[in-house]
Amino acid sequence: MSRTAPSAAPASAVSPAVLAARTAVAVVFTLNGLAVATWFSRVPAVRDALGLSAGRLGLLLLAMSVGALLAMPTAGLVAQRLGTARTVALGSAFVATGLAVAGVATAAGLLPGVAVGLCAFGYGSGICDVAMNVEGAVVERRLGRTIMPRFHAAWSLGSVAGAGLGAGAARLGVPVAAHLAALAVVVLLGTLLAVRSFLPAADGGTSASAAPAERRRDLLAAWREPRTLLIGLLVLVAAFAEGSANDWLAVAFIDGYDLSEAAGAAVFGVFVVGMTLGRTVGTVALDRWGRVRVLSGTILLATLGAGVAVLAGSGPVAIAGVALWGIGASLGFPVGMSAAADDEQRAPARVSVVAVIGYTAFLAGPPLLGLLGDRVGTLHALLVVPLLLLPTLALVPATRPPRHPAVPSTGSPTLPPTGGPVDREPTAGHPGGRQPGR
């Protein structure tokens, strides 16, 4: 049986505070994407400056993932304790500091210093990731329609800007240290201004008043919820499909298709443009056809695109594959985060669990692809992506919204579960349509 999706809240019914929070969340996502893409666009320059092989570069990139995974297990607790605004501000300070340190250490030829900077960068990004997704889920619910993918599209727009600036900086010979330090200042100041418009803690559903023991119990309980764990596995593969392109796409095309550093950064930009397009259009598709159908289609598209990018043998055809890969990989991560936050009172704990599982891809991905790259070349190592994507189709039904979403404790009217309107997929008798243990 299909259900009719409720209409979105009329614009006149949405408070100015929610609209301001929507803009603020989009700005934070954009700046975070700008920071991440700025780093990845200069990875080839860092590799050359430090004289790293593919395997050693993979181990260096691992430092960023280690920092993120150190942050993830407690990021939900921090967000509940400090509120999303202060948590994002704290994470941004780590991001800016780590970015600047990595740049300066690259200029000095200090590999351990770059690793320390990347670890701080990853730690701050991990904290930001959980807190800004929790805030975005609450704003989405207050608006009453799907908007989370557009927040991630804002992240992708920031990535496009970062990739473009990186390609320009590489072409003009701008030193890595100067480039990264300047962007660090922009990201930090912009984030501190944006978080001032986040929703107050009472409206953010972060349960700041809950006792520490209660918050810890919520987090441990989330690790025993089958639906949360299945969503986490889906996000893990989605993160691998996205993160492998972030880490290796520019290097793979430079090595595999004999492109210049600037051209390799531009290819990465094509991927990010595809991600941005998919996330912008994806909100309409999700409201019309539901999470399960749309995610199944995009996963198949990403599988096709990644295979073409590696096996095409022709630069232009491979770049077309990169665009399809970006479009196809665009929705897995944001929809997974929305699904984890369907119950806003338990959202921080569940988003934290899903983020920990998902970021395991960023931990395992760089060294795995780096070691494979030493044996088969960095380009052909990317064939791991389509091989992992296809089995993920079995996990997609777990993203269906719960049939009976919890009522917010603030007493506000019950709006559609995070992810906008109720999913149109049939749910009667389907385990993905219920919320086991949640």
User: Is 336:231 a contact under the CB 8 Å cutoff?
Assistant: yes
Residue 221 burial (CB count, 10 A): 16
Q: How many angstroms separate the CA atoms of 327 and 149, rounded?
A: 12
pLDDT of residue 417: 43
User: Is 241:372 a contact under the CB 8 Å cutoff?
Assistant: no
Provide the residue-wise pLDDT of the chain in tens; the chain has 438 residues. 333 333 455 555 778 999 999 999 999 999 999 999 899 888 888 998 998 887 788 788 888 888 887 887 788 788 888 889 999 999 999 999 999 999 999 999 999 999 999 999 999 998 998 899 889 988 988 888 888 888 988 987 888 789 889 888 888 889 999 999 999 999 999 999 999 999 987 554 445 455 666 667 777 888 889 999 999 999 999 999 988 887 889 889 998 898 887 788 789 889 988 988 998 888 889 988 989 999 999 999 999 999 999 999 888 899 999 999 999 999 999 899 889 888 777 877 888 888 888 878 866 777 788 888 888 988 999 999 999 999 999 999 999 987 754 444 433 444 444 344 444 443 333 333 323 333
pLDDT of residue 392: 94
Show the tokens assigned to 207: 């349960």
Show the tokens assigned to 409: 């404790």
Write the CA distances from 225 to 86, 297, 341, 361, integer angstroms.
28, 26, 13, 21
